[in-house]
Chain A
Amino acid sequence: MSYAIADEPHDTAWKHLVVTPSGPLLAEIVVGSWLSLPWFVVNAIVLGSPTKRKEIALCVVQLMITALLGSLLLWADDRELIESRTLLQLAMLVIVSWKVYLAYAITTIQQRAYQVFELYGGTAKATTFVIAGGMLLRPYVQGLFDDPLWDIIVMGVGGLT
């Protein structure tokens, strides 16, 4: 039996799959939420993060609010309330900023457990290949549904410029 300290990750059998939380954050930016959000969840679980419920809840919140903001934007665009392409892009940027901000918040929370994991000699898997693979798969994921809301929810900045 051992005394558990609040910031310590729990033991899991998948510690060898842990990545630095900066990896999923970078994936959110250059690939999209379809990769980053599941990755954050998986990382929280394999890391044994003591705050994994909060991290998973934030992933769900990011998804739901993005869907709401995306629907609102498409509704306004359908009714031609957004007068120019630049304004539409700026509105999209607001949604992207929200997504990146939430990904940053999740990263910050997950980083606390990750730092303790590192402090006790844990080593992280490289994230480069996953992100590169995600970039290659990106067009296929985008093509799964022919719906602009899908693009807004799961993509990075594909439709922005």
Chain B
Amino acid sequence: MSETVDWDPDQLVRAADRELRTGAWREAVELLRRALVLAEDHAHAHAMLALALLVPGRVIGADAESKRALELDGGSPYCHYARAATAFARDRFDEAWASCAVALGGGLEIGNQPETEVAIHVLGAKIRQARGETELARELLERAIAWLPQRVSTRVEAAKLELAAGRLELAASHANEALRRAGTDLAANVVAGEIDLRTGDLAAAERHAQFALLQDSTDPDALRLWAVIKSRKQPATGWAWRALVWIATRNDRQQNALLAGSFLVVQLLMILANAAGLPGVQGKLVWVWLAFVLGVFYGPVGLHKLVSADAGTPDRSV
């Protein structure tokens, strides 16, 4: 990045935009930081920084940046797009839609990139779907596909939407199109596996799940698909797979809630057992809780090793 030393803020923002399109969010963040040191009131830099921070799930930072962007330029569709993406990540669907509607209605200032327009349409479709407006979500996705038919992630979203709506043939057609363009795409394989599962083709679903796990053996969606396949194939041990995957795919906050909540439940049960004259139960409950805690903390590593052994994929858990 040494050749960017003398760049002005707009050049840095454009460079960050290019990095972000390739998924290099760290590089994009660093370029935008430099842009903001030079021009603290650069609304687009704040907006783009919010979008870059959302890639690794930094919603608090993204929230502050997207708010600042809108304060600086409340009429900018791009700033509204960043605000909509942030609000959506925080499950604030009404606020997300209000901003997304503005973004959809205006042209984009930075390079007028069709990719960004399409990304706004896809975001709009996700928000619409989250609000239960399937038909309106479908319209947005159809426009996005017409605009850039080669964009795989749009096809994946369309497949997810149709799968959720129960239109399996349409879902399969989108998934197949996504796989035709990018056969190793993780999300495309997961959604194709889910469609196969729904149509009862377990072998095909398993192949897709294996393919997805080959890309990333820790991906929560791929793991959930694998667990469902295992539970269909081996009903006797299926519940254990599902439970393990459920525990292992919780985020830190949910894991802590499980830890604290299960502790309080066990304490309550111990008091009630004591009151019922069952003192021997207390010790057993403590052991059950300790086993649960171990499961919460070490479940993810154990699960990834199990999946790697079972699906024949490389173990990348450690």
Query: What is the interface of chain A, defined by CB distance below 8 A to chain B?
Result: 1-3, 5-8, 21-22, 25-26, 29, 86, 89-90, 93, 96-97, 100-101, 103-104, 107-108, 111-112, 115-116, 119, 157, 160-161
Contacts and interface: CB of A to CB of B under 8 A. Distances in A.
A5 B49 contact: yes
B61 A108 contact: no
Interface of B: 29, 32-34, 36-37, 40, 49, 53, 56-58, 60-61, 63-65, 252-253, 255-257, 259-260, 263-264, 267-268, 270-272, 274-275, 282, 293, 297
A6 B114 CA distance: 31
Contacts of A96: 264, 267
A2 B37 contact: yes
- The majority secondary structure among interface residues of chain A is helix
24 contacts: A3-B33, A3-B40, A5-B58, A5-B64, A6-B63, A7-B64, A21-B256, A22-B255, A22-B259, A22-B297, A29-B260, A29-B263, A89-B271, A90-B271, A100-B260, A101-B260, A104-B257, A111-B256, A115-B252, A160-B267, A160-B271, A161-B271, A161-B274, A161-B282
Given A100-B263, A157-B267, A7 B58 contact: yes
Nearest to B273: A161
A108 B33 contact: no
B33 A107 contact: no
Given A3-B40, A7-B58, 5 more contacts: A3-B36, A5-B61, A26-B293, A107-B256, A161-B282
Contact of A25 (B259, B272, B282): B259
